[in-house]
Chains A and B, each alone.
Chain A
C-alpha cells in the first residue's frame, strides 16, 4: 500500500464549510422541530409537532400527496423518456430538431409554465376545454375538481420534465457500442429482443439517474403546485413543500421546521434503499 500523499488537514476547509452550511443547521433544525418557536423564543414540546403533522386534517394529506406525486412523475418521466430516447436514437431525419423541441419546456421558467397551463385549464375559457367542446365533449374542471387537480399538475410536471430524462437517456444510448447490436442481429435477434437484452441492461445507469433525480425532484416539488393551485382546491394538491411554506407564513415556525425534518427523513428513507436497489441492477460491460 502506498503511503498517504496528502496531509488530512487538506480536508479541513471543506469539512468546515460543510459543517457550517449543512451539519450545524441540520442539527439546529432537528432541535427546533421539537419546539414551539417564535424566532425569538421557544418552548420545548417534544414530538408534539410531528404528531400534529400526522394527525391534523390539513397536514396529514401532505405525505400522501407528496409520495403519489413523486412516484407518478418519476414513473412517467422514466418510461416516456426512455421511449422517446429510443425513438430519437433510431435513424430518422429530424431527430436533432425533435430533441431540441422536447428539451424546450425545460428552459421555460416553472412559474411561466404553471401560469400558462392554469389558463389553458380554465374550465370554460381554457384552450383544453374549448378544443374538447369543439369535439362535443364537456371537459372537466382540470384544477378545480378535487379528485382531478393533483393529476392535472402531475401531467404538466411530466410534460415539463420529460425532456431532461430523454437527454440523459440519449447520452446513455449513444454510449452503447454498435457492435453489440450487429452481433445480435447476426444471431437472429429481433428488435424487441435487442431492446430487452442489450439496450435495457446497458442503459440501466441512465435509468437510475433519471429515477433518482425525478423522485427527489418530485418529493420537493413546490413551484409548479404553488403557481397552479396553491395547494387547493381545499387541500387537494397540498404537498409537503407547500404545507411547510404555509405553516411558515402562519408564523408556526416550529411546526414548519418539523415538516422539513419529515421531508428530509422521507427522502433519506426512500432514496437510499431505492438507489441501492437500482445500483444492483446495473451490469458491467
Chain B
C-alpha cells in the first residue's frame, strides 16, 4: 500500500511538471499568433526600469490607438543584471519583439548582425542625426532608433548656491577647483558622488572627452586600434587625475550615496556640483517638478579658457529582435516612433534633455534651464561624442576603477594602467582585430 502511494505521488508530480511545460509552451505561442480573426495583434516590449519611461509610454499609447495593436510591456533590471538578461534571452531565442538597450560600445557585444533587424534601408534613416546613426550602427549597418533626446555628460550645479556665493561658471579646470574651494570655505559640500551606484562614478573621466579630443584628435582611433593607452597618453590620463584632485570636496557618505540620494541633495542645496548625464534633469522634473530649473549645466572644463565644449551622449536605442514573429509590425512601430506624430506624443509628456536626434525637430520653448545652458554649444558645434560612441572598446571595469581612484585606493597612474589591461581583456574577449 505504501509503495502504491509513493508511485501515485511520483506520477502526480510528473504529470504536473509536464503539464506546466506544455502550458508554458502554449502561452508562448499565444503572443505571436495574434492578428487573425479580429484578435488584436500583440507586440512585446522589454524595457529597463531605471530609465524615464513616460515619453516612450506616450508614443506607445498613441500607436496602440492608431493601429489597434496591443503593446505588452516587460520590465528588466538595469546594470549588470539587465545585461545578463538581454544577452541570455538573445542567445536562447527568447527575446521580446522590441527592446531598449544602450547604443555605443555596449551594443557591439549583442552581436547585432545575428540578433537584430538591420534598419539601414528604412525610410527614416536620412532623418536621424549623424551622432545617433554612428552610435547605433555596427559595421555601417544601423540597428536602432533613438528612444529619447541626446544628452550630455557634464556638471550639474545649483544655480541658487552659485548666486549665493557669487560664483561664475568655470571656463577652466583650475577655475572649477577654485569654485570647489570656495564652496568648501563656505561650509558647503562642493562635489556630490553617488558611488553606491557604481556606474555614476565614470562621469568625470567620460565627460573629459571633449578636452581629450581638443588636444589629441586621433585618440579615439588610436585607442580603438590598441595604439594609444590611458596610462601613456597625458591628456587621457588627466581624466583619472581629476578624480584625485577633487577628492577633498566629496560628500562624506559618497560610498553609500545612491543616484537618488545625490539628486535629492543637489536639488535641496545640500551639494553644489554633481557630474552626471543630463537625463537626470528629467528624473528631477518627475520627482521635484519646477525645482529642476534651479539646476544649471556646464561641460567639464579643460585647460583652455577659449575652447570649451560638451561631451555628448547618444540616447539608448530601440531594437527589433531578428527572430521575432512580428518584425513587420515592429517596423511599423519604429516608423511611427520617429514620425512627426510620434515625436509630438513624446514631447507632450516630457521635456527633452538635449536636442532630439531627429533632423528638423526644433526644441519646444519650455526646455529645462539646464538644457538652455547647453544650447549655445550645440548651436556653435562645440560638441564631441563620448568615447563609447566612437569606439567599440570600453573596459567593463571602468566604474570600479574610477571608484578605486576616486576613493584614494589607487593612484591615477595605477588606475589608468589597470584600465588599459581591462580594455585589452575586453578587446581580446570580443575578438577585435589588432589586439
A residues with CB within 8 A of B? 36, 38-40, 43, 48, 52, 56-58, 122-124, 141, 143-146, 230-236, 245-246, 248-252, 254-255
Contact = CB atoms under 8 A, between A and B. Distances in A.
Nearest to B111: A38
Contacts of B260: none
Contacts of A144: 195, 253-256, 407
Contact of B429 (A232, A235, A249, A255): A255
Given A233-B255, A234-B400, A251-B109, 19 more contacts: A36-B428, A36-B431, A38-B111, A39-B91, A56-B422, A122-B256, A141-B256, A144-B255, A230-B198, A232-B198, A233-B195, A234-B410, A235-B404, A249-B80, A251-B87, A251-B429, A252-B426, A252-B429, A254-B429
A280 B422 CA distance: 46
A144 B409 CA distance: 12
Contacts of B403: 232-234
A124 to B, nearest CB: 5
A143 B401 CA distance: 17
A45 B403 CA distance: 32
A48 B425 CA distance: 11
A57 B396 contact: no
Interface of B: 80-81, 83-84, 87, 91, 109, 111, 114, 195, 198, 252-256, 396-397, 400-401, 403-404, 407, 409-410, 418, 421-422, 425-426, 428-431
Contact of B114 (A40, A122, A230): A40
Contact of B396 (A40, A124, A145, A246): A246
- B interface, by DSSP: helix, strand, loop or mixed? helix
A38 B115 CA distance: 12
A255 B401 CA distance: 20
Contacts, number: 98
Contacts of B421: 56-57
B109 A250 contact: yes
A246 B428 CA distance: 16
Contacts of B407: 144, 146, 233-234
B252 A124 contact: yes
B195 A122 contact: no
A235 B400 contact: yes
B87 to A, nearest CB: 6
Contacts of B422: 56-58
B404 A143 contact: no
B84 A123 contact: no
Contacts of A246: 80, 396
5 contacts: A123-B252, A144-B253, A232-B403, A233-B407, A251-B429
B109 A234 contact: no
A58 B397 contact: yes
A249 B83 contact: yes
Contacts of A233: 195, 255, 403-404, 407, 409
Given A52-B425, A250-B109, A245 B80 contact: yes
A231 B431 contact: no
B87 A124 contact: no
A124 B265 CA distance: 14
Given A124-B253, A234-B404, A56 B84 contact: no
Contact of B431 (A43, A57, A250): A43
Contacts of A36: 428-429, 431
A123 B253 CA distance: 7
B253 A251 contact: no
The 9 closest A-B pairs by CB, nearest first: A144-B255, A234-B404, A251-B109, A252-B429, A250-B396, A57-B418, A249-B83, A249-B80, A249-B84
A45 B83 CA distance: 25
Contacts of A56: 421-422, 425
A248 B109 CA distance: 11
Contact of A122 (B91, B198, B253, B396): B253
A62 B421 CA distance: 17
A146 B256 CA distance: 12
Nearest to B80: A249
A124 B91 CA distance: 44
Contacts of B255: 123, 141, 143-145, 233
A58 B400 contact: yes
